[in-house]
């Protein structure tokens, strides 16, 4: 939503749930049956353009995690800044401090994209993204091809690298912008034997 004095705000919520995970000898407890894992996050964010192709923002999130019968609630914050360069390949760079109020960690990222390969109604764009900074996590890479029809219907394919153990995994996305409404789904294959995961996103923009 657009707010006075050049600010933009947003409210968000997401749920992650994995059911019926078989127990092993390394499971947190040795009770019979399967384990259910879930996470719910509510987010309030605020951002503003700072001029000179630079913008900044901050957010507060409430996170509730549960594993079996154990449930914990966390209150965390984050601040970040990003810069959109006018150089060729239009790089975007960002830096964020996440987990304020808990275990803070710095996260840095870079994204570059090629100009459209075609000037028709369905141009194709190639992009590369990189992020690093989370403690003990390897750098993450993502390569993608994206296309849009009249800037309303979007589709993409790509590969993401989440570390040596997971390796390169395929992903695909499909989305639509209908006025102020936006719907999309991202499907990403996983190399850990659990199969593909899906991220669903729905948004409404207020003038």
Do 41 and 121 lie in one domain? The reply is no
**pLDDT score of 130:** 92
| 98 within domain boundaries | no
Question: Measuring CA to CA, which residue among 110, 112, 109, 108 is closest to residue 87?
Answer: 112
Residue of 99 and 47 predicted with greater confidence: 47
| 109 within domain boundaries | no
| 191 within domain boundaries | yes
Give the separation between CA 191 and CA 159, rounded to whole angstroms: 12
| Owning domain of residue 202 | 114-207
Give the separation between CA 74 and CA 179, rounded to whole angstroms: 35
Do 126 and 207 lie in one domain? The reply is yes
Do 153 and 190 lie in one domain? The reply is yes
Do 198 and 121 lie in one domain? The reply is yes
Assign residue 62 the CATH number of its domain.
2.20.200
Q: How many CB atoms lie within 10 A of CB 78?
A: 20
Q: Are 78 and 97 in contact (CB under 8 A)?
A: yes
| 13 within domain boundaries | yes
**pLDDT score of 64:** 93
Do 198 and 119 lie in one domain? The reply is yes
Do 140 and 81 lie in one domain? The reply is no
Do 151 and 68 lie in one domain? The reply is no
Last residue of a domain, one of 86, 103, 129: 86
* Number of domains within the chain: 2
Per-residue pLDDT reduced to its tens digit, 57-113: 999 999 999 877 788 999 999 999 999 998 888 899 999 998 888 888 899 999 999
pLDDT band for position 121 (cuts 50, 70, 90): confident
Question: Measuring CA to CA, which residue among 63, 46, 13 is closest to residue 202?
Answer: 13
Tokens of 138: 């390897």
Per-residue pLDDT reduced to its tens digit, 135-169: 667 888 999 999 998 889 999 999 998 776 667 88
Give the separation between CA 6 and CA 4, rounded to whole angstroms: 6
| 93 within domain boundaries | no
- b/e map of 39-55 (b: 16 or more CB within 10 Å)? eebebebebeeeeeeeb
| 107 within domain boundaries | no
């Amino acid at each position: 939503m657009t707010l006075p004095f050049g600010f933009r705000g947003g409210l968000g919520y997401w749920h992650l749930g994995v059911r019926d995970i078989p127990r092993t000898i390394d499971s947190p407890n040795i009770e019979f049956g399967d384990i259910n894992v879930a996470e719910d996050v509510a987010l309030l964010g605020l951002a503003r353009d700072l001029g000179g192709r630079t913008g900044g923002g901050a957010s507060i999130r409430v996170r509730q995690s549960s594993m079996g019968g154990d449930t914990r609630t966390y209150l965390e914050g984050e601040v970040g800044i990003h810069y959109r360069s006018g150089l060729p390949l239009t790089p975007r760079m960002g830096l964020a401090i996440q987990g304020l109020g808990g275990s803070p960690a710095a996260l840095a990222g870079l994204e570059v994209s090629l100009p459209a390969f075609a000037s028709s109604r369905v141009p194709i764009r190639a992009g590369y993204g990189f992020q690093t900074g989370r403690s003990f996590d390897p750098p993450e890479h993502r390569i993608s091809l994206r296309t849009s029809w009249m800037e309303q219907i979007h589709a993409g394919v790509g590969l993401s690298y989440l570390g040596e153990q997971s390796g390169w995994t395929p992903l695909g996305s499909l989305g639509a912008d209908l006025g102020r409404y936006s719907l999309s789904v991202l499907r990403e294959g996983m190399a850990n034997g659990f199969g593909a995961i899906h991220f669903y996103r729905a948004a409404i923009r207020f003038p």
